[in-house]
Amino acid sequence: MIEWLENHQQACFYKRFFGIECPGCGMQRAFIELLKGNIYQSFVLFPAFIPLLVMFGFLLLHIIFKFKNGARILLYMFIGNTSIVVISYLIKIINLK
C-alpha cells in the first residue's frame, strides 16, 4: 500500500502554476512517512500533520461522546494547528530565499 501511495502522489496545483510550495505541501509525504513509522521525518515534512490527526480524532470523539468543553478544546486545537501551518510555511518561504 505504501509503495502504491508513493507512486500515486498528486502534484501540487499551486506549486505547478506559481513555482512555490503551498501551505499544505508536504502533507502527502508526511502521511507516507508516518505510515512507514518515521515520525520525525513526518514532522519535518509537514509539522502540523500529527496535531491535525489528533484534532480530527478528538473531533470524532466529541461528536460521539459530546464532551462538556469539547467545542472550546477544538477551537484551541484549530487555532494551534493553523498557527503551526502558518509559521512553518513562513519559515519554509524564508529559507527559499
Distance CA 9, CA 29 (A): 8
Q: Is the pLDDT of residue 97 over 80?
A: no
More reliable by pLDDT, 52 or 16: 52
Element (H, E) at 67: none
**Domain limits at 72?**
2-96
Q: Are 26 and 91 in contact (CB under 8 A)?
A: no
pTM of the model: 0.88
Distance CA 92, CA 73 (A): 28
Indicate the number of domains in the chain. 1
Q: Are 50 and 42 in contact (CB under 8 A)?
A: yes
35-47: pLDDT as tens digits: 999 999 999 999 9
Q: Are 27 and 43 in contact (CB under 8 A)?
A: no
